[in-house]
Every structure is written in C-alpha cells, then in structure tokens.
Structure 1
Amino acid sequence: MNYTKIVLGLVLSFVVGAGCKLFGIPAASPPVLSGALLVFAMSSGYWLVDRYLCREAAQNKKHCGGHALERKPDEASL
C-alpha cells in the first residue's frame, strides 16, 4: 500500500478545508460530524466490499457484452 498518497490526500483535504473556512467558501462536505462519518462509512464500505469481491474470479464474465464502443461495426446493429 502506498502510504505517501494517503498522507498527501489527508494533508490536501485539511488544506482545502482550512482555505474554505478562511475565505468563507462553502465546503463540499457535510457540515456536521454525523454527516462526515456517514460519508466515511459509505466510502469504507464500498472499498471493503470491492476488496472482498476482487478475491474471486469473475464467474459471469462470459455473459457480459462489454461496452458498446468495443463492439465491431457489424455487431452494433444487432
């Protein structure tokens, strides 16, 4: 795990928050602790589920049609 990115992200978030407070700009975050904890919990849950699901190989990949831009021109009309 790259801890440098995590530390830089935390420092940047505090700098942006302090700048918003200093200049009176509304921050794009919940104004109360419970809202911030909700965002943290949702982000952590998304990350943990992603890590859990990536442990197994995709079982239904053969059924996935893929993105429309990846199809050949003759398949796009189907």
Structure 2
Amino acid sequence: MNYVKILAGLVLSFVVGLACRKFGIPAASPPVLSGALLVFMMSSGYWLVDRYVARRAAENRRHCGGHALDAKAQAGGSR
C-alpha cells in the first residue's frame, strides 16, 4: 500500500476543505455526518471490490473483444 498517496490525499482534502470554509465556497461534500459516512463507505466498498477482483484470474478474457485502440496498435496503426 502506498502510504505517501494516502497521506497526500488526506492533506489535499483538508486544504480544500479549509479553503472552501475560509472563502465561503460551498464544499463538494455532504454537510452532515451520515452523508460523510455514506461517501466513506462507498469509497471503501469500491476499494475492497477492486482489491478482490484484481486477485482473481481473468477467466473470461478470451471472450472480450478489447478496446478499439488495442486493435489499431496491433494492426500497426498507432502513431
């Protein structure tokens, strides 16, 4: 786990919150604790599912058509 990114994210969030409070800009976050907990739980769930899915083998990769940019790169059409 990259603790530098986590620390940078926390510092940045506090700086943005402080600036919004100081200059009277409406913050882009819920003003009540239940809303903040909802955002936290959604973020935690997204992170946990991402970790779970990344550990599993890609069983259906052969069925995936891929991205159009991948097809250009394989055909030699990328610049």
**Shared fold (TM-score, shorter chain, > 0.5):** yes
Alignment of 1:45-56 (within 5 A): 45-56=45-56
Q: CA deviation at 1:68?
A: 2.4
Q: How many residues get paired?
A: 72
Q: Deviations over 1:6-48 (max 9, x none)?
A: 1111011001101101100011111111111101100100110
| 5+ long unaligned stretches in structure 2 | 73-79
| 5+ long unaligned stretches in structure 1 | 73-78
Amino acid at match of 1:49: V
TM-score of the pair, normalised by structure 2: 0.83
Poorly superposed stretches of 4+, deviation over 4 Å: none
Amino acid at match of 1:50: D
Q: CA deviation at 1:71?
A: 2.8
TM-score of the pair, normalised by structure 1: 0.84
Superposition RMSD on alpha carbons, in Å? Answer: 1.1
